[in-house]
Amino acid sequence: MIPAIVVFVYLAVVLYIGIFAFRHVKGKEQAEGFFLANRSIGPFVFLFSLFGTNMTAFAILGSSGHAFTNGIVTFGLMASSSGLVIPLTIFLIGTRVWALGKKHGFMTPVQMFRDRWECSHIGTLISFVQAALLVPYIIIGIMGGGTTLNAVSGGLVPYWFGGAIVALVVMGYVFFGGMRGTAWVNTFQTALFLIFGAAALVVIGVGMGGYRTAAQQMLASPALAPLLTRERISPLYFFSYTFIPLSAIAFPHILIFTLTAGKMAHFKKTVILYPLCIMAVWLPCVFLGVMANRVTDVPQIRAKQEARRVLATQGKTMTPEARDQLREQSAADDVILQLLDRYAPLWLAGLLGAGIMAAVMASDSQILALSTMFTKDVFAFYGGKERFGETVQVQAGRLFIVIITIIAYLVALRAPETIFELAIQYAFSGYAALSPLLIGALFWKGSTKWGALAVTVWVIATVVAVAVFQSVVPAPAPGPAVVIWSLGGTEVLSRTPGGTAVFGFMPVVPMVLGSALLMFVVSLVTAKPAATTIARYFGGPKSLERADAH
């Protein structure tokens, strides 16, 4: 029960920071104050909060679970590629969006797209697609909260109650604290999981009798040794993963957060330190996930390994349903929790549980982003602000926060978690494929609203196509992929144990390339925005004056 008490204390601290620490801040009843913290976030909070916003439950629990099953490849797949691509996109795209936000007052990406391409309903469609891809994260966050509280309390806190507490805490500080409260909570949470990630590495290492022995034992086992290499993952699959981090800057909550920096210089530390922060969090998680395979005295870990072994040796002769059941049994997202339960003293397990809870609760910025999008892209755009005024606009945003949290909680109670884990996988590819919208808007004068529409329709079509394909064609047993369509001896479309392959690549590669091509070709043959509009984006202040004069 001690770990659960520590986690409850942690939740109380978070609630205090989010709600009460900023109750005297000026302008929080104005839209800019509530949704963007008056565009005045400092460099330290900007770095930690932006990083923490990206470190979801999927990043912390999912990384160790993925490493438990697939080995050290997890770090190269998801962390080091992000360490290059994400800061690069923040440097190239984030800084430009920040400057345009300051100059033209944008608060959401769609506000910028509508202005840049002179469109209205196409913007609404983009906003809808962004929201649809974001909702699964919020549901997963509440589910993760329920699961974690249930685990750290030894089952004393039921799943429904744990989920309700997490939903209420997150809703509370987002509702009252807006962007400033959320940013400070994220900063506190990031500091927590940076510190406790390192603590977990040391405590579990000592408990296991040192990593040298564990690594040698794994190397000596034919079943476990491949986990210390990347031989189970194809180089094309590995390469495909470098496209996934393009999703980060296209996530509305990340792009909206870039608008909160007080000065553009605040981006400098974030860009430089981002790869190191990713390394500091992911390296311990991945390493511990791999090393958990050597733990022989935890029945839950043994059960996962046994399910994995049966799936690998007998999977081909099983029904798809039986394979899915074994996959669920071998799922290892709770492996870090199991290690803490086994090796950490009770008080430290509580602190580490709080660190994990911090990652699980990253859904706060997504809830706030959805609220900002609803308020600015829908409510204000369709006349709500003019009719009801600025204050009602913020109240509408707050009401939306309550509604979306309640809906997410009710869905989290009834639906199986695996559905939303899959949805998140599709969402990463979907957002990556939306990134040409930003590149087109910011770097190419020739891009048009019809190009943007083509990209959006393409993203909807391909995300749905992959989802339908994977539900119709069951996943094969571990081993070679099942070829569904080949052309002249070349494998075009395959069903792999973990998903889909197109010419051997993950679907994200053709999705992103297709988006970029559509943006280019459709924009070439359709009418451009007015010269005055283009001048406001590419001409600098003098051109802006000229444009306004006309």
Partner 1 sequence: MKKILLVFAVAVLYILHQDFWFWRTAHPLVFGFVPIGLFYHGCYSIAASLVMWLLVKFAWPSNLEREVEQQISEEEANA
**CA dihedral over 347, 353, 355, 361, signed as positive or negative:** negative
- To partner 1, the closest distance from the beta carbon of 62 in angstroms equals 18
- Contact between 230 and partner 1 by CB under 8 A: the answer reads yes
By rule CB under 8 A, what string of x and - marks binding of each residue 180-219 to partner 1? ------------------------------xxx-xx---x
Runs of H (alpha helix) within 208-345: 211-220, 235-240, 246-250, 252-258, 266-291, 299-314, 320-330, 335-343
- Contact between 243 and partner 1 by CB under 8 A: the answer reads no
- To partner 1, the closest distance from the beta carbon of 434 in angstroms equals 21
- Contact between 262 and partner 1 by CB under 8 A: the answer reads no
- To partner 1, the closest distance from the beta carbon of 107 in angstroms equals 16
Of 480 and 540, the one with the shorter C-beta distance to partner 1 is 540
Distance from C-alpha of 526 to C-alpha of 516, rounded to nearest angstrom: 16
Residues 103-132 close enough to bind partner 1 by CB under 8 A: 103
Distance from C-alpha of 71 to C-alpha of 244, rounded to nearest angstrom: 19
- Contact between 300 and partner 1 by CB under 8 A: the answer reads no
First-to-last C-alpha distance (Å) of the chain: 70
- Contact between 398 and partner 1 by CB under 8 A: the answer reads no
The piece of 53-61, 257-265, 381-389, 465-473 that touches partner 1 (CB under 8 A) is: 257-265
The piece of 115-123, 282-290, 432-440, 489-497 that touches partner 1 (CB under 8 A) is: 282-290
- Contact between 36 and partner 1 by CB under 8 A: the answer reads no
- Contact between 287 and partner 1 by CB under 8 A: the answer reads yes
Q: Select the residue interacting with partner 1 from 2, 5, 72, 516 (CB under 8 A).
A: 72
- Contact between 271 and partner 1 by CB under 8 A: the answer reads yes
Q: Select the residue interacting with partner 1 from 229, 313, 418, 486 (CB under 8 A).
A: 229
Q: Rg of the chain over CA atoms, in angstroms?
A: 24
Q: Which residues pair with 386 in a beta bridge?
A: none
- Contact between 444 and partner 1 by CB under 8 A: the answer reads no
Q: Select the residue interacting with partner 1 from 75, 113, 196, 343 (CB under 8 A).
A: 75
Rounded to 5°, the CA angle 373-377-378 comes to: 105
Tokens 């339908």 belong to 468
Of 257 and 409, the one with the shorter C-beta distance to partner 1 is 257
- Contact between 460 and partner 1 by CB under 8 A: the answer reads no
The piece of 196-204, 265-273, 311-319, 506-514 that touches partner 1 (CB under 8 A) is: 265-273
Rounded to 5°, the CA angle 205-206-210 comes to: 65
Distance from C-alpha of 45 to C-alpha of 354, rounded to nearest angstrom: 20
- Contact between 265 and partner 1 by CB under 8 A: the answer reads yes
Of 202 and 407, the one with the shorter C-beta distance to partner 1 is 202
The piece of 20-28, 72-80, 172-180, 391-399 that touches partner 1 (CB under 8 A) is: 72-80
10 Å Cβ neighbour count for 131?
18
- Contact between 294 and partner 1 by CB under 8 A: the answer reads no
- Segment holding 435, helix H or strand E: helix 417-443
- Contact between 73 and partner 1 by CB under 8 A: the answer reads yes
Give Cα 365 to chain centroid, integer Å. Answer: 11
The piece of 24-32, 74-82, 351-359, 513-521 that touches partner 1 (CB under 8 A) is: 74-82
Of 214 and 360, the one with the shorter C-beta distance to partner 1 is 214
Length of the chain: 550
By rule CB under 8 A, what string of x and - marks binding of each residue 77-106 to partner 1? --xxx-xx--xx--x---xx-xx--xx---
10 Å Cβ neighbour count for 210?
11
Of 198 and 473, the one with the shorter C-beta distance to partner 1 is 198
Number of residues that bind partner 1 (CB under 8 A): 50
- Contact between 520 and partner 1 by CB under 8 A: the answer reads no
Of 382 and 538, the one with the shorter C-beta distance to partner 1 is 538
Rounded to 5°, the CA angle 236-239-243 comes to: 130
Tokens 């210089």 belong to 265
DSSP 129-168: HHHHHHHHHHHHHHHHHHHHHHHHTTTSS-HHHHHHHHHH
Q: Which residues contact 544 (CB under 8 A, 6 or more apart)?
A: 103, 535, 536
Of 26 and 542, the one with the shorter C-beta distance to partner 1 is 542
- Contact between 445 and partner 1 by CB under 8 A: the answer reads no
Distance from C-alpha of 277 to C-alpha of 543, rounded to nearest angstrom: 40
Tokens 């679970």 belong to 65
Whether 34 and 179 have beta carbons less than 8 Å apart is answered as yes
Distance from C-alpha of 431 to C-alpha of 399, rounded to nearest angstrom: 27
Which residues here bind partner 1, judged by CB under 8 A?
Answer: 72-73, 75-76, 79-81, 83-84, 87-88, 91, 95-96, 98-99, 102-103, 210-212, 214-215, 219, 225, 228-231, 235, 238-239, 242, 263-265, 268, 271-276, 278-279, 283, 286-287, 540-541
